[in-house]
């Protein structure tokens, strides 16, 4: 889980970093763009401003020039001084008159007039801007305005304006900066008041001395001293016809577009990144979940195999045993619960059988189960009393048990001679005691604490006397706590009812019957926990007669007679089976084994009744059970009688076992029957 949280934190951080990067990048980009745009706009505006301002000035000066023409054509003293007087009157700097050839014939400026040393100034010959005035001579224009410029003749800055002359040629006035400004400043006032540049920007025109003529922002400021804009503006200054003109855009205004763009980009980027992050997160978490599923399934398999490998699963576990029977089964749930059972001899006449249930599930439960099983087994094997074995196992389990896992267990030790069962209950479900007549009841004693819960606690021993035929049924809570669709548990009462209804069935039949009833109860509800059961039946000590016989036909005949007498009370059908099977073994021993001694033990058990025949001979080692069965499908001509005897034994006897022990072949066979 921590790994996953880290993953999400990393993902969120990288998303945030990407977002910031993209934000900064787009901000810088749009900031640069907006600046560029602003200056482009300013440049464009200047072109218009220049056109407009120049037009206004020209118009004004043309009118002045026309007034000069009027005055001169009405007749005005023809000398340079009077021309200068007129210029002064008209508030222009100089006045000149040119003829059709472009020669200045009269002028207030002596530099332009012819002297002995040089000819008069000729517009056509002067070239450049001056030559443009010739348009007034050829009649293609009636007026012409030059821009404010440096006059090459006397190196003075002038703006010349000409109008055509009725007598041919043209009149020209020239204005220096001061004259220009004084003549035209009134036309500039408020000229650009309604001009807006880029939303909140505008145009300011001032006089050469910096007095405001036209201010887009504060018309009332006209005439006040102009202060150049600070760096909160994108702005440019340009002199147009001597007038300083400022085109300016507040940065804030220019930035609006940038902000809108950056903002919307940021929102879109953010949304896209969040979407991508969610998608990536989803894909990763799906992948991780899948990995975890696979991992969990693997662990589950491992836990199951640990659990199952630890349990004895061959039944009957002691085929030669006729003093008791044990049968167990475990139905594992989807998730391993850590149940286990076990049984083993602690001495020749004592058998220990136990069932246990580890708290928790999965691999930890399975591992704990292994530990618990080993500890209990090793403690019990030392021959210590069960209570002490449990106490020692408990102390060992408590050591380093950080997870506080515990295990409930019920263990009993049967004395096969007396039928007494000594048992310890460490917090486990009460077993069911099934008497020989089929009556079932819970074997209730005050339970001790579960193993692994607390170190140093004592484990009380209890005893119960079994009569031949009595059974003890052990189970885990997977049986009694299996819920149905309504959440109702299977319960103790139903368990007892099912067991009681089984009558004299036992072992696997009873275990299967209980499991089937639990399943019926569960219906469609999944199995909640491991369902583990174990049943032990005490049969009592058998009545045993062992006799030795000679390894010949005489001995065989005596053995057959003795056996027939011993089996007198056995039902006929079973008795015949036993006699036939015994005859096959007799024949093998006498005819083929090369034995010098052989014995037959006849063991008769009660509750249930049964017979075990044990053949022991000192002949050559021979395990009849590994021999291959003869082919019984052949025709009469092909058939031989070899191997038929063993086939008959294997088919009619259960169990049949062979052992080679201390130089003897020991073959045990038998059968059980209900009285």
Q: Could you list the residues that contact other proteins (CB under 8 A)?
A: 553, 556-557, 560, 572-573, 576-577, 579-580, 583-584, 586-587, 590, 632-633, 635-637, 639-641, 644-645, 647-648, 651-652
Minimum distance of other proteins from residue 632's CB (angstroms): 3
The CB-of-561 to other proteins minimum distance in angstroms stands at 9
Minimum CB distance to other proteins, residue 580 (Å)? 5
Q: Which is nearer to other proteins, 79 or 554 (CB)?
A: 554
Return d(Cα 396, Cα 287) in angstroms, integer: 41
523 alpha carbon, distance to own chain's centre = 35
- Do residues 144 and 165 make contact, with C-beta atoms less than 8 angstroms apart? no
- Judged by beta carbon, residue 177 or residue 580, the one nearer other proteins is 580
For the bound state, the minimum distance from the C-beta of residue 579 to other proteins, rounded and expressed in Å, comes to: 6
Pick from 262, 252, 263: nearest CA to 198 = 252
Whole-number Cα distances in Å, 511 to 535, 589, 645 = 8, 40, 35
Quote the Cα angle for 270-274-280, to 5°. Answer: 145
**Residue closer to other proteins, measured from CB, 286 or 553:** 553
Task: Name the residue nearer to other proteins (CB basis): 271 or 564.
Answer: 564
Tokens of 482: 């299996």
CB-nearer residue toward other proteins: 133 or 669? 669
Rounded least distance, CB 596 to other proteins, Å:
19
Q: Using alpha carbons, list the distances in angstroms from residue 397 to 69, 355, 372, 484.
A: 128, 17, 7, 35
CB of 604 to other proteins, least distance (A): 20
201 close to 248: Cβ distance less than 8 angstroms: yes
Give the C-alpha separation, 259 to 31, whole Å.
9
Strand order in the sheet with 407-415: 339-347, 350-358, 407-415, 420-426, 462-465
Q: Which residues contact 31 (CB under 8 A, 6 or more apart)?
A: 255, 258
CB of residue 656 to other proteins, shortest distance in Å: 14
Contact (Cβ atoms closer than 8 angstroms) between residue 350 and residue 319: no
By beta-carbon proximity to other proteins, the closer residue of 238 and 560 is: 560
CA–CA distance, 156 with 148 (Å, rounded to integer) = 10
Q: Which is nearer to other proteins, 3 or 572 (CB)?
A: 572
* Tally: H helices and E strands in the chain: 14, 25
Q: Report the residue count for the chain.
A: 675
Least separation in angstroms between residue 496's CB and other proteins is 40
- Residue among 334 and 651 whose Cβ is closer to other proteins: 651
CB of 592 to other proteins, least distance (A): 12
Smallest distance, Å, CB 329 to other proteins? 30
3-state secondary structure 600-651: EEEEEECCCEEEEEEEEECCCCCCHHHCCCCCCCCCCCCCCCCCHHHHHHHH
Q: Determine the longest span between alpha carbons in the chain, in angstroms.
A: 187
Closest by Cα among 455, 471, 344 to 419: 471
- Comparing CB distances to other proteins, the nearer of 220 and 633 is 633
Nearer to other proteins, 124 or 644 (CB): 644
Q: Retrieve residue 458's tokens.
A: 């004592």
Please tell me the distance from the alpha carbon of residue 58 to that of residue 191, in angstroms, as a whole number. 14
Cα of 199 vs its chain's centroid, Å: 51
Taking CA atoms, 594 is separated from 627, 628, 645, 665, in Å, by 19, 22, 18, 12
Q: How far is Cα 564 from Cα 577, in angstroms, rounded to an integer?
A: 11
- Smallest gap from residue 621 Cβ to other proteins (A): 22
Are the C-beta atoms of residues 219 and 168 closer than 8 Å to each other? no
Q: In the complex, what is the shortest distance from the CB of residue 573 to other proteins, in angstroms, rounded to a whole number?
A: 6
* Residue 586 or 622 with smaller CB distance to other proteins: 586
SS3 630: coil
Q: Measured from the CB atom, is 577 or 612 closer to other proteins? A: 577
Cα 653 from Cα 672, distance rounded (Å) = 9
Between 540 and 645, CB nearer to other proteins: 645
The minimum distance between CB 637 and other proteins, in angstroms, equals: 7
Q: Which of 425, 529, 535, 533 is nearest to 481 (CA)?
A: 529
**Which residue is it, tokens 């953010």?**
270
């Amino acid at each position: 889980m921590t790994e996953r949280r880290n993953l999400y934190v990393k993902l969120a951080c990288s998303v945030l970093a990407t977002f910031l990067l993209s934000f900064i990048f787009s901000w810088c980009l749009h900031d640069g763009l907006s600046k560029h745009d602003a200056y482009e706009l300013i440049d464009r505006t200047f072109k218009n401003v220049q056109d407009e301002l120049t037009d206004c000035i020209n118009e004004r000066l043309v009118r002045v020039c026309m007034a000069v023409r009027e005055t001169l054509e009405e007749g005005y003293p023809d000398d340079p001084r009077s021309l200068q007087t007129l210029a002064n009157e008209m508030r222009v700097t100089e006045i000149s008159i040119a003829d059709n050839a472009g020669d200045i014939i009269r002028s207030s400026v002596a530099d332009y007039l012819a002297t002995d040393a040089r000819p008069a100034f000729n517009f056509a010959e002067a070239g450049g801007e001056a030559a443009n005035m010739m348009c007034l001579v050829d009649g293609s224009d009636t007026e012409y305005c030059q821009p404010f410029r440096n006059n090459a003749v006397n190196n003075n800055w002038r703006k010349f304006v000409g109008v055509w002359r009725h007598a041919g040629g043209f009149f020209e006035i020239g204005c220096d900066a001061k004259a220009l400004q004084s003549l035209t400043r009134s036309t500039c006032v408020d000229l650009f008041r309604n001009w807006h540049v880029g939303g909140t920007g505008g145009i300011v025109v001032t006089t050469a001395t910096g007095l405001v003529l036209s201010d887009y922002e504060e018309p009332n400021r006209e005439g006040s001293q102009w202060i150049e804009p600070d760096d909160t503006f994108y702005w440019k200054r340009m002199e147009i016809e001597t007038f300083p003109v400022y085109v300016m855009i507040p940065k804030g205004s220019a930035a609006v577009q940038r902000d809108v763009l950056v903002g919307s980009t940021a929102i879109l980027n953010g949304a896209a990144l969040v979407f991508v992050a969610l998608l990536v997160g989803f894909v990763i978490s799906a992948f991780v979940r899948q990995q975890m599923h696979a991992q969990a399934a693997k662990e589950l398999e491992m836990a199951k195999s640990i659990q199952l490998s630890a349990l004895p699963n061959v039944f009957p576990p002691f085929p030669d045993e006729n003093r008791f029977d044990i049968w167990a089964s475990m139905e594992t749930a989807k998730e391993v619960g850590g149940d286990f059972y076990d049984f083993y001899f602690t001495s020749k006449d004592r058998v220990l059988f136990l069932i246990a249930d580890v708290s928790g599930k999965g691999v930890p439960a399975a591992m704990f189960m292994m530990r618990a099983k080993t500890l209990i087994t090793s403690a019990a094997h030392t021959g210590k009393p069960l209570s002490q074995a449990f106490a020692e196992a408990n102390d060992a389990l408590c050591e380093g048990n950080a997870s506080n896992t515990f295990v409930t267990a019920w263990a009993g030790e049967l004395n096969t001679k007396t039928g007494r069962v000594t048992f310890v209950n460490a917090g486990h479900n009460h077993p069911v005691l099934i008497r020989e007549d089929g009556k079932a009841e819970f074997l209730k004693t005050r339970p001790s604490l579960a193993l692994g819960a607390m170190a140093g606690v004592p484990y009380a021993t209890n005893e119960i006397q079994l009569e031949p035929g009595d059974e003890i049924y052990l189970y885990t809570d997977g049986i009694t706590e299996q819920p149905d669709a309504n959440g109702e548990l299977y319960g103790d009462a139903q368990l007892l009812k099912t067991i009681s209804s089984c009558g004299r069935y036992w072992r696997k039949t009873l275990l299967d019957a209980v499991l089937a009833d639990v399943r019926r109860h569960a219906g469609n509800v999944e199995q909640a926990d491991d369902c583990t059961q174990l049943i032990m039946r005490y049969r009592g000590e058998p009545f045993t007669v062992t006799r030795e016989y000679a390894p010949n036909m005489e001995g065989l005949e005596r053995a057959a007679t003795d056996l027939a007498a011993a089996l007198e009370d056995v039902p006929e059908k079973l008795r015949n089976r036993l006699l036939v099977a015994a005859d096959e073994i007799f024949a093998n021993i006498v005819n083929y084994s090369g034995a010098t001694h052989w014995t037959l033990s006849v063991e008769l058990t009660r509750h249930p009744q049964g017979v075990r025949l044990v053949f022991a001979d000192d002949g050559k080692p021979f395990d009849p059970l590994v021999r291959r069965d003869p082919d019984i499908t052949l025709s009469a001509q092909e058939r031989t009688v070899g191997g038929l005897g063993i086939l008959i034994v294997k088919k009619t006897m259960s169990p049949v076992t062979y052992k080679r022990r201390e130089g003897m072949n020991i073959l045990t066979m038998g059968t059980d029957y209900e009285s």
